[in-house]
């Protein structure tokens, strides 16, 4: 189809009537977990959604705070039972921010980049842009990418009300299918080599970028570090002469070849290389080309890109940045030219009784409001602070706006409630939820109705712990609890307490004393178990909950210098303030409690919290201790515990039981659909780095769509239907299974299954293996990768029952943190260059792989096509002399250097390069090393900076071919 016909057919579609469901009125900012759901949804809309799909993907891979994603859910009035798992959205907007230096006054300015997808109701887009009020339209530059050659009239009108002038650049979008990109063969050209760019190349890319006035060298450097890129380098001096890189939401961009090196095929080489790298990271390779740029259109058509649809790039900003951009273009299209409109006066709405769930942006406003009410509202203030710092999806903040009683405040609230969920295990082994609630209000009468309106709490099954002012709850709250949990007094308990605080300035000025024989520092996740074991109310929490609080919030511990033993500790536990103070019995009365209190108070104040504690009124010893630490009485409060007869925890008067975390789960193990894979990777993302092997397996199953990668899972069973569309999905077992065919000793085709898994209880794994029926355990070759140095007893019994014998190879798993990998500077070595492998190298890799009997050249070639890899090549003849590649689920594997080229640093070079590429794909770089392989252990830890994560093993059945 030619361009004219293509555009015509597209525009004719715009005039058709669409019968769309009503959309949810609230636009929301996506959490990290939401991003995976959005990616799953957009994956089904490809290639139409390729721009915003690549933006969401980049937001996940980079975790950059400069990438924000907003969305509206689709509301289907006829099916009120629709849940979040159905992933229906009416609008998704990606917003990226770059800072630049104004050439007129040298001030730092912001430039915002928009990309969006809607369900064809484009007029809703203007309302969405209006709702995203982090943008100062009077000062910031805004660049909008969207479909059609001209913007929707509603967008034009919206921009006209914000800006004095703007311009639109009609473009055409060209795409290369993922399948074609993955199978591209990168050709070699004499005298040059192609590889990814490094941070040191950012200045060159910036200098030749015609629109550099809207960015900085640092912005370019960050994109080079975090996203796919490509450059052609001269072999004789490593000079960069041609390049291209990813630039969301503009796709593959910044293509440039130095003038004296043009017409040599270098632009084609970087385009091929970047297209393949982009596809391997799960992006659709696409470019936006000005409709008058005939040369670029012909070039990309020769590269097998296909015209997909018309788009436009709208630029809105009344300043010199637009003038400079326009001077560099052959043609400009005046889009908005209206006088500056007078802004309507802001009017605060009266309290309409609506309780609203706070977005991240709302949290900052709430924080500003609460800040002026410190220290009285220190509990809810610290809760909102913690929600911002941790971005924990278990924390929810609700609020109700009201008209300010004075004119001093632009925004006023009548009510703010913070709630957090923790799961705990009952003695009957059922998983239950415990909700901790704190609040601020200017009218205690409305609090009970607000609690009633929070539907994510299931009052029939959940436990609720409320923190609030006064020694007793308000009568309306008492009536609510009786209605929900019955009149039985044993179902509810109230603990009158007093709240003490230390002024922030006093805390910041604390001098932390030194004590002989000990040191004080923050706790680490490895200390969660001991904190849990000594916490008298541990029946209402888990080790995982405490681990998360240690990782995300301030904490303090006193350690013996002689053996690093933890002997005293304290940590933050919103909304209870500084909590869980404990000193081991044999180390008491030595001043350690005072030391951790000092240290934690200062750390809390440095994070913007008010240091405070809640003390039960009968605890005279704690009163005296905190008064001696200069804490001051603030106000009376109470902690109210309530539950029903079926969901009790022993709170206050505890029976100290150690309850094993098992949980109840759905009996059936299921094969994951593509949509399920996104949910699984979202779940596993929260288990990193421990789950790095299975996480990389599921991610690869998504990016490659390879039918040889199968993922099975079992959900944790929930006894009641979800009470919220945002209900967390939980899993008890996830198993990744990959199949390779090979030729057996009798020339028959055999199957080799490689298995990796994650589970919350090792006992469940053998049952899951039993239910995977496509594996013939008696005939097929089996390779199992899992934690611990030996097989779990349940797996051993399972294999014995199948009459399967094999050998277990104990290994250790080592990782390089993603952030460290992204910041690697890949060194240059004289006489060689490093780049990704190509399919033509599969034979050599196969020939040198000691375990090749269980694989084929074609299997190696497919992994090279679909997954990250690295090779060192001689500049003289392009000979491959050292390599490493991704080999699921074994991580970075197949490292090899030809004998005559060893001890020259080539292994380090491919490891650096591959580690960075793996991290740019959103995977944790990891390796498995046999415990007797001292050389590899030394290489990866001492030279490459990898850290041991866990013990593991590789079990291989005896029928593995020799």
pLDDT, tens only, 215-229: 889 889 988 888 889
- Residue 185: the pLDDT is 84
Residues 6+ apart with CB under 8 A from 199: 221, 224, 225, 825
Has residue 814 got a pLDDT over 80?
yes
3-state secondary structure 539-565: HHCCHHHHHHHHHHCCEEEEEECCCCC
Q: Write down the mean pLDDT value for the chain.
A: 82
Residue range 648-672: average pLDDT? 44
Alpha helices in 193-234 (DSSP H): 202-208, 217-226
* Amino acid 408: pLDDT: 55
Dihedral sign, CA of 925, 931, 933, 938?
positive
The residue written with tokens 């599921």 in the block is 698
Q: Which residues contact 48 (CB under 8 A, 6 or more apart)?
A: 117, 309
- Alpha carbons 138 and 110: distance in angstroms, whole number: 11
Alpha helices in 609-735 (DSSP H): 620-628, 674-685, 692-704
Confidence of residue 418 (pLDDT cuts 50, 70, 90): very high
**Do 148 and 14 touch, CB atoms closer than 8 A?**
yes
Q: How far apart are CA 120 and CA 20, in angstroms?
A: 9
Q: Which of 185-194, 408-417, 541-550, 890-899 bottoms out in mean pLDDT, i.e. has the lowest?
A: 408-417
Average pLDDT over residues 232-261: 93
- Distance, in Å, from the CA atom of 460 to the CA atom of 433, rounded to the nearest integer, reads 11
Mean pLDDT score, 700-718: 84
The encoded tokens of residue 632 equal 């001051």
Quickly count helices (H) and strands (E) in the chain: 29, 37
- φ/ψ region of 351 (left if φ > 0, alpha if ψ in -120 to 50, else beta) reads beta
pLDDT of the residue at 138: 77
| The pairing of beta strand 806-815 with beta strand 926-930 | antiparallel
Pairing between strand 141-147 and 108-118? Answer: parallel
Rounded to an integer, what distance in angstroms lies between the CA atom of residue 676 and that of residue 716? 15
Least confident of 391-400, 524-533, 798-807: 391-400
| Continuous segment of H or E residues that includes residue 871 | strand 869-874
Question: Which helix (H) or strand (E) element contains residue 282?
Answer: none
- Quickly count: other Cβ atoms within 10 Å of residue 357's Cβ: 15
pLDDT over 50 at 252, yes or no: yes
Rounded Cα distance between 871 and 910, Å, is 6
675 exposure class (CB count in 10 Å sphere: 0-12, 13-18, 19+): middle
Helical segments of 303-409, H only: 320-327, 360-371, 378-390
- Tell me the β-bridge partners of 572: 578
**Least trusted range by pLDDT, from 218-222, 331-335, 832-836:** 331-335
Instruction: Give the pTM.
Output: 0.59
Residue 948, H or E segment: strand 947-957
Q: Are 415 and 450 in contact (CB under 8 A)?
A: yes
pLDDT of 904 reads 93
Spatial CA neighbour of 860 closest among 692, 740, 707: 740
Q: Report the DSSP pairing between strands 166-175 and 334-336.
A: antiparallel
Among 160-164, 438-442, 579-583, 613-617, the least confident range: 160-164
Residue 660 pLDDT greater than 60, yes or no: no
Q: What per-residue confidence (pLDDT) applies to 629?
A: 93
Identify the pLDDT of residue 653.
27
**pLDDT, average across residues 80-106:** 71
pLDDT band, residue 318 (cuts 50/70/90): very low
Per-residue pLDDT at 353: 62
Residue 670: strand pairing partners? 713
Separation of alpha carbons 226 and 285, rounded Å: 17
Report the run of H or E that residue 97 belongs to, with start and end: strand 89-101
Confidence category of residue 717, pLDDT binned at 50, 70, 90: low
Residue 188 CA to residue 269 CA, distance in Å, equals: 8
Name the DSSP class of 610.
Answer: P
Q: Concatenated DSSP letters for 381-416?
A: HHHHHHHHHH--TTEEEEEEEE--SSSS-SSEEEEE
Three-state secondary-structure class, residue 730: coil
- What average pLDDT does this structure show over 391-402? 86
**Quick check: bond before 249 cis, omega within 30?**
yes
How much is the pLDDT for 227? Answer: 86
pLDDT of res. 936: 93
Residue 528 sits at φ, ψ, to 5 deg, of: -60, -35
Tokens encoding 323: 């003038």
What order do you get walking across the sheet with 749-759 strand by strand? 670-671, 709-715, 731-743, 749-759, 781-787, 947-957, 806-815, 926-930
Q: Where would I find the H helices in 876-921?
A: 906-920
Q: Average of pLDDT values for 12-32?
A: 55
| 263-300: pLDDT as tens digits | 999 999 999 999 988 888 888 999 999 988 999 999 99
pLDDT band at 18 (very low <50, low <70, confident <90, very high): very low
Is the CB of residue 863 less than 8 Å from the CB of residue 887? yes
Are the C-beta atoms of residues 223 and 247 closer than 8 Å to each other? yes
For residue 268, what are its two tokens?
């084609």
| DSSP state, residue 845 | H
Instruction: Give φ, ψ of 72 to 5 degrees.
Output: -120, 135
Q: What sign has the CA pseudo-torsion 246, 250, 252, 256?
A: negative
The pLDDT confidence band at residue 171, using thresholds 50, 70 and 90, is very high
**What is the distance between the alpha carbons of residues 117 and 94, in angstroms, rounded to a whole number?**
9
User: Token pair of 645, please?
Assistant: 């007869």
Cα 475 vs. chain centroid, distance in angstroms? 43
Between 280 and 258, where is the model more confident? 258
Q: How far is CA 259 from CA 232, 256, 264, 363, 486, in A?
A: 14, 9, 11, 51, 81
Peptide bond into 587 cis (omega under 30): no
More confidently predicted of 343 and 369: 369
Residue 734 burial (CB count, 10 A)? 27
> What pLDDT was estimated at residue 360?
83
DSSP-derived letter for residue 74 is B
Considering only CA atoms, which of 574, 554, 596, 577 is closest in space to residue 635?
Answer: 577
Q: Give pLDDT, residue 726.
A: 43
The per-residue pLDDT for 712 is: 94
Flag whether pLDDT at 19 surpasses 90: no
For residue 625 the two structure tokens come to: 């201790």
Is residue 698 predicted with pLDDT exceeding 80? yes
Please compute the mean of the pLDDT values over residues 834-856 and round it to a whole number: 90
The percent of residues above 70 in pLDDT, for the chain, comes to: 85
């Amino acid at each position: 189809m030619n361009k004219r016909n293509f555009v015509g057919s597209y525009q004719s579609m715009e005039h058709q009537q669409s019968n769309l469901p009503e959309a949810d009125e609230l636009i929301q900012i996506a959490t990290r977990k939401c991003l995976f759901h959005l990616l799953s949804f957009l994956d089904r809309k490809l290639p139409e959604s390729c721009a915003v799909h690549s933006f969401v993907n980049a937001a996940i891979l980079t975790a950059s705070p400069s990438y924000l994603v907003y969305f509206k859910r689709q509301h289907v009035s006829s099916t009120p039972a629709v849940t979040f798992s159905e992933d229906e959205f009416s609008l998704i907007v990606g917003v990226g921010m770059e800072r630049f230096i104004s050439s007129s006054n040298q001030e730092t300015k912001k430039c915002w980049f928009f990309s969006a997808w809607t369900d064809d109701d484009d007029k809703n887009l203007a309302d969405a842009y209006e709702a995203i009020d982090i943008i100062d339209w009077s000062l910031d530059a805004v660049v909008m990418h969207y479909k059609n050659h001209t913007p929707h009239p509603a967008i034009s009108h919206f921009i006209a009300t914000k800006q004095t002038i703007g311009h639109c650049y009609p473009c055409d979008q060209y795409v290369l299918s993922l399948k074609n990109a993955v199978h591209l063969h990168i050709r070699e050209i004499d005298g040059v080599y192609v590889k990814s760019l490094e941070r040191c190349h950012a200045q060159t890319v910036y200098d030749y970028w015609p629109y550099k006035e809207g960015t900085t060298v640092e912005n370019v450097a960050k994109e080079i570090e975090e996203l796919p890129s490509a450059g052609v380098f001269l072999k004789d001096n490593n000079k960069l002469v041609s390049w291209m890189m990813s630039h969301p939401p503009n796709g593959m961009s910044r293509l440039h070849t130095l003038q004296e090196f043009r017409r040599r095929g270098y632009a084609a080489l970087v385009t091929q290389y970047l297209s393949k790298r982009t596809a391997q990271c799960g992006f659709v390779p696409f470019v936006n080309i000005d409709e008058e740029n005939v040369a670029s259109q012909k070039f990309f058509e020769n590269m097998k890109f296909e015209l997909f649809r018309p788009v436009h790039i709208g630029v809105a900003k009344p300043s010199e940045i637009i003038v400079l951009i326009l001077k560099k273009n052959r043609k400009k299209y005046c889009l908005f030219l209206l006088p500056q409109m007078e802004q309507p006066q802001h009017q605060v709405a009266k309290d309409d009784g609506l309780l609203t769930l706070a977005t991240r942006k709302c949290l900052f406003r709430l924080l500003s409001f609460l800040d002026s009410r410190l220290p009285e509202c220190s509990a809810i203030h610290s809760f909102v602070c913690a929600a911002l710092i941790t971005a924990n999806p278990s924390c929810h903040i609700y609020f109700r706006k009201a008209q300010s009683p004075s004119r001093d405040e632009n925004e006023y609230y009548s009510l703010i409630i913070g709630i957090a969920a923790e799961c705990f295990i009952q003695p009957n082994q059922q998983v239950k939820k415990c909700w901790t609630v704190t609040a601020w209000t200017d009218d205690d009468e409305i609090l009970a109705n607000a609690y009633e309106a929070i539907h994510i709490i299931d009052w029939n099954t959940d436990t609720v712990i409320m923190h609030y002012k006064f020694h007793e709850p308000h009568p309306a709250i008492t009536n609510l609890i009786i209605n929900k949990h019955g009149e039985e007094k044993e179902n509810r308990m109230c603990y009158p307490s007093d709240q003490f605080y230390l002024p922030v300035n006093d805390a910041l000025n604390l001098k932390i004393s030194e004590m002989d024989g000990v040191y004080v520092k923050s706790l680490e996740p490895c200390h969660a178990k001991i904190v849990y074991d000594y916490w008298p109310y541990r029946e209402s929490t888990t080790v995982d909950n405490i681990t998360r609080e240690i990782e995300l919030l301030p904490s303090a511990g006193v350690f013996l210098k002689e053996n690093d033993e933890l002997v005293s500790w304290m940590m933050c536990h919103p909304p209870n303030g500084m909590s869980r103070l404990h000193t081991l019995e044999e180390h008491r009365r030595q001043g350690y409690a005072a030391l951790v209190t000092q240290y934690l108070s200062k750390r809390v104040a440095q994070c913007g919290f008010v240091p405070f504690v809640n003390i039960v009124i009968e605890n005279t010893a704690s009163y005296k201790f905190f008064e001696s630490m200069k804490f001051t009485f603030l106000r009376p409060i109470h902690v109210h515990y309530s539950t029903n007869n079926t969901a009790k925890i022993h709170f206050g008067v505890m029976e100290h039981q150690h309850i094993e975390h098992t949980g109840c789960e759905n009996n059936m193990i299921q094969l994951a659909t593509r949509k399920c894979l996104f949910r699984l990777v979202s779940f596993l993302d929260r288990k990193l780095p421990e789950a790095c092997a299975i996480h990389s397996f599921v991610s690869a199953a998504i990016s490659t769509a390879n039918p040889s990668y199968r993922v099975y899972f079992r959900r944790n069973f929930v006894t009641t239907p979800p009470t919220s569309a945002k209900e967390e999905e939980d899993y008890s077992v996830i198993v990744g299974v990959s199949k390779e065919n090979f030729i057996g000793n009798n020339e028959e085709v055999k199957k080799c299954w490689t298995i990796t898994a994650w589970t919350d209880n090792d006992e469940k794994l053998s049952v899951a293996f039993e239910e995977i029926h496509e594996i013939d355990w008696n005939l097929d070759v089996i390779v199992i990768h899992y934690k611990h140095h030996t097989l779990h007893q349940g797996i051993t019994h399972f294999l014995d029952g199948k009459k399967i014998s094999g050998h277990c190879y104990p290994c250790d798993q080592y990782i390089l943190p993603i952030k460290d990998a992204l910041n690697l500077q890949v060194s240059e070595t004289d006489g060689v260059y490093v780049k990704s492998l190509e399919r033509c190298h599969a034979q050599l890799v196969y020939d040198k792989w000691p375990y090749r009997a269980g694989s084929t050249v074609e299997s190696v070639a497919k992994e090279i096509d679909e997954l990250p890899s690295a090779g060192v090549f001689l500049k003289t003849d392009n000979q491959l002399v050292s390599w490493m590649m991704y080999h699921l689920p074994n991580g970075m594997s197949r490292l090899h250097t030809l004998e005559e080229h060893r001890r020259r640093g080539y292994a380090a070079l491919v490891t650096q390069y591959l580690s960075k590429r793996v991290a740019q794909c959103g995977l944790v770089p990891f390796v498995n090393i046999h415990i007797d392989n001292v050389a590899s252990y030394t290489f990866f830890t001492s030279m490459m900076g990898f850290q041991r994560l866990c013990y593991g093993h590789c079990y291989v059945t005896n029928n593995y071919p020799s």
